[in-house]
Structure 1
């Protein structure tokens, strides 16, 4: 009975969300004043590879692909991207790579990233980054296996669908904390408030916590739309918790 009640509740929430907010975009974008769907809060996707740092792009240097636009910090980076977009685009539409392992499309913080085997992975927040770091290969394998299912589905519809019908290998927060303790004994996970499910699923777009500076999260902003500083073209943005257990990623070679 409890299971049926939970299912009916989720179904009701799904219908309400779709009626009020729609299915959501297929990629983790924020809309600028021109109506363009911008990836990575305007960060330069190429700079992750060349500089190893989250670097704000310039709205005057942009490339638009179906359903998403990218900004670049230099003409050189724009040329690199235009010559081979697949090399530089973030995996899983820029959504949290940890959630993607469970077929969820939630969260996007351009300051939390990793580059593995030439692929750029973005995380929803420091906790998603830490959870993924427990076993990157496991997370990549599962996320790759379900990406075809979620690729062209709006983030809100896909996430609600998979909260209602979880993948067989789903892990709860408690499961992840146990895995963390086993992998990194004596090291605590970061203290971070990811916000409510209502905000993340119904009221806000992916990336809102980084953009607004939710709780102790530094304000990253949306370059071209929000104040400079911090969101200044060409500047390096600040990630949450310099003392995080996850070290900043190295420069990709």
Structure 2
């Protein structure tokens, strides 16, 4: 009976996503600086070593709430898709830099420095960091997955994202 209970507890723990705090929100007041997280799925992803296309800014009149944050979307269709499965569309690590998490910290991420790996959205902070992340994507994700549950919300950096002017979502 003990073995069954331990197996069940382990299965439940692994089935529940690890959260190290609320969604990162910058000065725009929106998750992912107001960029439409559903739109990343329709952008052409470039090969490793090449810059990704810029993300799509959301609209301040088309929003949804999730993980303690307001998310903006370019279209109502994208908002509806997000609401059907927000964990699928939300970036990993509550929108913090994936490489930063792999190194044990929480730093902001630039919504234009993104990559989808194994159907999950990852963001990074600078183009230099993207290079480090891409040197060993599986290894860095593995490190980040191990670090994420132990990173305290108080460990988050409030630094401004270098080379990114956060204009936020567009309004009509």
Q: TM-score range by the shorter chain?
A: 0.7 to 0.9
Query: Deviation at 1:74?
Result: 0.3
Conserved? CA contact 1:41–1:207, under 8 Å: no
Structure 2: which 5+ residue stretches go unaligned? 1-20, 45-52
Instruction: Within 5 Å, give how 1:1-253 maps onto structure 2.
Output: 26-32=22-28, 37-52=29-44, 53=53, 54-150=55-151, 153-154=152-153, 157-158=154-155, 201=157, 204-207=158-161, 209-211=163-165, 220-223=166-169, 232=170
| Cα deviations by residue, 1:58-109 (Å, 9 ceiling, x for unpaired) | 0111011232111000011011100000110000111111111012101310
Query: Deviation at 1:205?
Result: 4.4
Q: Normalised by the size of structure 1, how large is the TM-score?
A: 0.52
Q: How many residues align?
A: 143
SS of corresponding position for 2:155: helix
- Structure-2 separation of matches of 1:113 and 1:89: 12
Q: Normalised by the size of structure 2, how large is the TM-score?
A: 0.75
Conserved? CA contact 2:61–2:171, under 8 Å: no
Query: Deviation at 1:233?
Result: 5.9
Structure 1: which 5+ residue stretches go unaligned? 1-24, 160-200, 212-219, 224-231, 235-253
For the aligned residue pairs, the C-alpha RMSD in angstroms reads: 2.2
Query: Deviation at 1:149?
Result: 1.2
